[in-house]
Amino acid sequence: MAKDDRDTATLPLRGHAERAFEDYLAHLDGHHAGDLYQLVMKEVEEPLLRVVLKHAAGNQSRAADILGINRATLRRKLRDHGLAAD
């Protein structure tokens, strides 16, 4: 394993996020970074829901518990992101 791979593997989630934010801002090339908070929430929430639901083998109650939200909130968020099973 390369040194960078080891560093990435042991980096806490917040460290990964910080690196991603720094990279994003560094590559704006002079463009304005407006509504960054809303952009991050939109970009992060959907994959978070998808990965946690997969980790919970599709069990919404378990996924909601892992996320620390109630099942009704999870179901609403899944619908909002087009991830709800019909």
Residue 71 and residue 61 in contact, taking contact as beta carbons nearer than 8 Å: yes
Report residue 30's pLDDT band, with 50, 70 and 90 as the boundaries: confident
Residue 71 and residue 43 in contact, taking contact as beta carbons nearer than 8 Å: no
Based on the structure, what is the number of domains in the chain? 2
CATH number of the domain that residue 69 is part of: 1.10.10.60
Q: Do residue 20 and residue 41 come from a single domain? A: no
Q: Do residue 46 and residue 67 come from a single domain? A: yes
pLDDT at 29 (0 to 100): 84
Average pLDDT over residues 27-45: 88
Q: Do residue 44 and residue 80 come from a single domain? A: yes
Q: Do residue 15 and residue 42 come from a single domain? A: no
- How far is it, in rounded angstroms, from Cα 55 to Cα 64? 11
pLDDT at 66 (0 to 100): 98
Q: Do residue 82 and residue 42 come from a single domain? A: yes
Q: pTM of the full predicted structure? A: 0.74
Domain enclosing residue 60, as ranges: 34-86
Evaluate the CA torsion angle 10, 15, 21, 25 in order and state its sign: negative
Quick check: 62 pLDDT over 50?
A: yes
Q: Do residue 61 and residue 39 come from a single domain? A: yes
Quick check: 6 pLDDT over 60?
A: no
Tell me the three state secondary structure of residue 39: helix
Average pLDDT over residues 17-37: 89
